[in-house]
Structure 1
Amino acid sequence: VNAGLQFLLTEGEGGKSSVQGVGGTRNCEWWFTRDAVLIDTAGRYATQDSDRDVDAAAWDRFLALLRKTRPRQPVNGVLLTVSVQDLLQRGAPERAEHAVQLRARLHELHAKLGVRAPVYVLVTKADLIGGFNESFEALAKDERDQVWGFTFADDPGGRAEPLAGFEALYGQLQQRLVEQLLERLEGERDVLRRAAIFAFPQEFAALQGVLGEFLRAVFAGGAGLEVVPRVRGVYFTSGTQEGTPIDRVMGALGRSFGIDARSAAVQPGRGKSFFLHRLLTEVVFAERGLGALNPAAERRRRTLRLAALGAMALASLALVAGWAISRSRNLDHAARVAAALPAIKEGIAALPPATSADVAPLALPLARLRDAAQLEGLDLAHPPLLSGLGLYQGDKLDAGARIAYQRVLRKTLEPRVAARLEERLRAATKDNLENAYEALKAYVMLYDPAHFDAEALRAWIGADWDVNYARLAPEQRAALDAHLDALLALGAPRANGARDDALVASVREMLAAYPLEYRVWSRIKRQYRPGTVPDFSVAAAAGPNAAQVFARTSGEPLTRGISGLFTREGHRRVLLPAVRSTAPLLAAEESWVLGARTDGVRLRDAALGTALADKVRRRYYEDYIKVWDAYLADVRLVRLADPERALAVSRLLAAVDSPLAGWIRGVAAETHLVAPPAAAGALGKAAEQAKADAARLAGAAPADSSSGGGPLEKMVDDHFAAYQRMVTGDPPPLAETLKLFGALNAQLMAVDAARKSKSPPPPAAGVEQVKVAAAQQPEAVRGMLDQLADATLNQGRGAELQGLSAELKPIADFCNRAITGRYPFASGSRADVLPEDFGQLFGPGGMLDDFFQRRLAALVDMSTPNWSYRPLADGSRPVAPAALAEFQRAQRIKEVFFRGGGRQPALRIELRLVELEPSLKELDLDVDGQLSRLTTGGPSVTLNWPSARVASVIKLSTGLGQAGPLLLFEGPWALFRLFDRFEVQPGAVPERFGVVMNLEGKRARLEVIAASVYNPFQLREIKQFRCPAA
Structure 2
Amino acid sequence: MSFLGIPAAGKSSAIYNSGLKFPFEETHQKMVSAGLSGTRNCDWFFSTEGILLDTAGRYSVYSEDHSEWLGFLNILKKNRSKAPVNGLILIVSIAELISQSPENSLKLAKNLRARIQDLTERLEVVVPVYLVFSKMDLIAGFTEFFEFYEAQEYNQAWGATLPYEQNSSHNAVDLFEKHYTILYDGLKGVSSTHLSRRHSQNISPSVMTFPLEFKTLKPALKSFIGTLFEDNPYQFQPVFRGFYFTSALQEGVIESPMTEQIAQEFQLTQIAQNDLKDHSKITPNHGYFLNGLFSDVILKDKDLVKQHVNTGRKRQRYIAFIGALAGVSIILGVWVWSYRNNQQLIGEVQADLNKVVQLERASGQQLSTQLEALLILQRRLQQLDEFDENRPLKFSFGLYQGNELREKLKAEYLKGVKQIVLTPTQQNIAQYLQRVKNNETTLKANHTNVEIKQTAQSQQYLEPSDTNPQDAYNALKAYLMMSNPQYMDASHLSDQVTRFWRSWLDANKGQMPRADMIQEAEQILSYAMTLANDKQFPVLEADSQIVDQTRQVLLSVVRGMPARDRVYNEIKMRAAVRFPALTVSQIVGETNKNIVLGSYALPGVFTQKAWNDYVEKAIEEAADKPTDSKDWVLNSRQSDDLTFSGSPEQIRKQLTALYKQEYIAEWRKFLSGIHYAKAGQFAQQVKNIDVLGEPQNSPIRTLIERVAVETNWDNPVVQAELAAPQKGFIAWFKRKVLNHDDKQVANQVANNAQGAISQEYQMFYQLVRKRDDQQGKSLLDEYMTNLALVRSKFNELKNAGEIGPNAMTLVKQTLNEQTSVFNQTQKIVDEKMAVGFNEIDQRLLQKLVVSPLTQAFESLITPTQDEINKLWVMQAYQPFTANLAKKYPFNSSASLQATSSEIGQILGENGSISRFVKESLDPFVIRRGYTLTSKTWKDLGISLNPQSSQWYGNW
TM-score (normalised: structure 1):
0.43
**Structure of higher RCO (CA pairs closer than 8 Å, 6+ residues apart):** 2
More helix by share: 2
Question: Highest CA radius of gyration, 1 or 2?
Answer: 1
TM-score (normalised: structure 2):
0.46
